[in-house]
């Protein structure tokens, strides 16, 4: 910091009230503590022999990251998966200047580092076998997002891109966050569909966040950053090497409730994503294509192997809603008088659906009003609203407003 910057900073601080000065001091102290902690995360990840599986094993055993670096090598070597060579590399680590440089570059690029201990780390990603220890984030992640991944061929047909944009747009209108890989073709169409609907979208990259690949998607990258996030597990400066992309694909599927494959050849990387999704217990959906199209052979094969054929977004929503409802927390009782709906209908609704109906009248109710009135998380509220809409009980209007729509409704027997 130059002498002029010091003078300017001092002048700024002397003009602040004491309470603000205290808050500024506390904020600076917290940031300093966070950065001090993050340097150990980056350092441990940089050591050969410490992978995504052994990383949490070390953290769980030694509690703090700092403690790992102050533990003698023989004791570190007692950790499952840690060899004597890796233990020695940890105990003798001296390359702190390089770690500081990486942290400085990250801060200057306005990139956040989110560890798996952070509440903003994608919840679904926590449950995969080889989750990244941390991810680099440009833009914003939010809690309780309902993610659906959309992937497919880089050499997409006009039909494939049109279908992808339409499905992505319609899912976004329902409050779904679209996840894809920023690649040419289907990936780019998926992101654009979400952006067209002014929805959220997340791009997962196979390079450092400072190396945009493909370069023609630079503008799209910037738009995604403003309406969601671009993320990567790779440090700044990492080039888009071929072997990075299969690893990237496990994040795309891992952070999502399901994966939609639109177009894919017989050897497409999208089929790797579909396989990873199945291994992670995610739903796999496929858009059928012409039997004469080489770009549809992969998706048609997926359907033959058990992937769900989809014709519209309802085919997707009806499969992911039960997953979301499994994680639904208890909900407080409504304090308002319930809307008059026939007992035969309400008997088929969940407790949360009934609570939401209590707060929706014939007048428009915005999603934010419903969330505030019911104390539900955004994810639970959105999933329940989608369920009620699929059942024909409510209707969604532009701007995420909802009204009751039970006239002439006949519940299934």
Residue 310: give its domain's CATH number: 3.40.50.450
Residue 70 lies in a domain: yes
Last residue of a domain, one of 318, 352, 386: 318
Cα separation values, 103 from 39, 171, 266, Å: 7, 36, 41
Residue 399: give its domain's CATH number: 1.10.10.10
Shared domain check, 97 and 36: yes
Shared domain check, 257 and 300: yes
Residue 38 lies in a domain: yes
Residue 123 lies in a domain: no
Shared domain check, 30 and 87: yes
Task: State which residues form the domain around 300.
Answer: 135-318
Peptide bond connecting 214 to the previous residue in cis, omega within 30 degrees of 0 = yes
pLDDT in tens, 122-166: 999 999 989 999 999 999 999 888 999 999 999 899 999 999 999
pLDDT in tens, 162-198: 999 999 999 998 889 999 999 999 999 999 999 999 9
Shared domain check, 345 and 232: no
Last residue of a domain, one of 299, 318, 337: 318
User: For the ranges 246-250, 345-349, 367-371, 402-406, which has the lowest average pLDDT?
Assistant: 345-349
Q: Using 50, 70 and 90 to split pLDDT, how confident is the model at 213?
A: very high
Residue 3 lies in a domain: no
pTM: 0.76
Last residue of a domain, one of 56, 87, 102: 102
Query: How many domains does the chain fold into?
Result: 3
Residue 117 lies in a domain: no
């Amino acid at each position: 910091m130059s002498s002029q910057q010091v003078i300017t900073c001092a002048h700024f601080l002397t003009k602040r009230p004491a309470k603000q000065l205290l808050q500024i001091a506390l904020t600076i102290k917290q940031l300093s503590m966070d950065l001090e902690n993050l340097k150990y995360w980056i350092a441990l990840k940089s050591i050969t022999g410490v992978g995504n599986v052994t990383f949490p094993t070390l953290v769980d055993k030694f509690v703090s990251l700092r403690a790992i670096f102050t533990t003698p090598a023989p004791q570190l070597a007692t950790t499952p998966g840690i060899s004597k060579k890796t233990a020695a590399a940890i105990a003798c680590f001296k390359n702190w200047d390089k770690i500081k440089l990486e942290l400085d570059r990250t801060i200057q690029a306005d990139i956040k580092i989110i560890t798996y201990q952070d509440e903003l780390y994608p919840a679904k990603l926590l449950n995969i076998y080889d989750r990244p220890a941390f991810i680099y984030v440009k833009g914003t992640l939010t809690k309780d997002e309902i993610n659906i991944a959309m992937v497919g061929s880089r050499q997409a047909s006009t039909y494939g891109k049109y279908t992808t944009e339409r499905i992505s747009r319609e899912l976004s209108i329902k409050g779904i966050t679209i996840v894809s890989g920023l690649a040419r073709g289907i990936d780019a169409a998926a992101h654009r569909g979400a952006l067209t609907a002014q929805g959220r979208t997340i791009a997962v990259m196979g390079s450092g966040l400072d190396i945009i690949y493909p370069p023609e998607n630079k503008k799209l990258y910037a738009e995604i950053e403003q309406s969601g996030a671009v993320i990567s597990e790779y440090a700044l400066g990492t080039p888009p090497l071929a072997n990075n992309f299969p690893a990237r694909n496990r994040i795309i599927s891992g952070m999502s409730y399901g994966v939609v494959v639109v177009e894919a050849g017989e050897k497409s990387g999208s089929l790797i994503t579909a396989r990873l999704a199945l291994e992670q217990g995610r739903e796999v959906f496929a858009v059928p294509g012409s039997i004469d199209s080489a770009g549809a052979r992969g998706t048609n094969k997926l359907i033959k192997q058990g992937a769900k054929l989809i014709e519209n977004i309802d085919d997707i929503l009806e499969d992911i809603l039960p997953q979301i409802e499994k994680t639904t927390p208890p909900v407080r009782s409504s304090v308002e008088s319930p809307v008059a709906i026939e007992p035969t209908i309400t008997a088929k609704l969940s407790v949360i659906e009934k609570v939401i109906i209590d707060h929706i009248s014939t007048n428009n109710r915005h999603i934010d009003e419903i969330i505030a009135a019911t104390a539900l998380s955004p994810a639970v509220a959105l999933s329940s609203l989608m369920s009620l809409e699929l059942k024909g009980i409510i209707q969604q209007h532009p701007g995420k407003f909802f009204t009751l729509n039970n006239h002439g409704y006949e519940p299934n027997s």
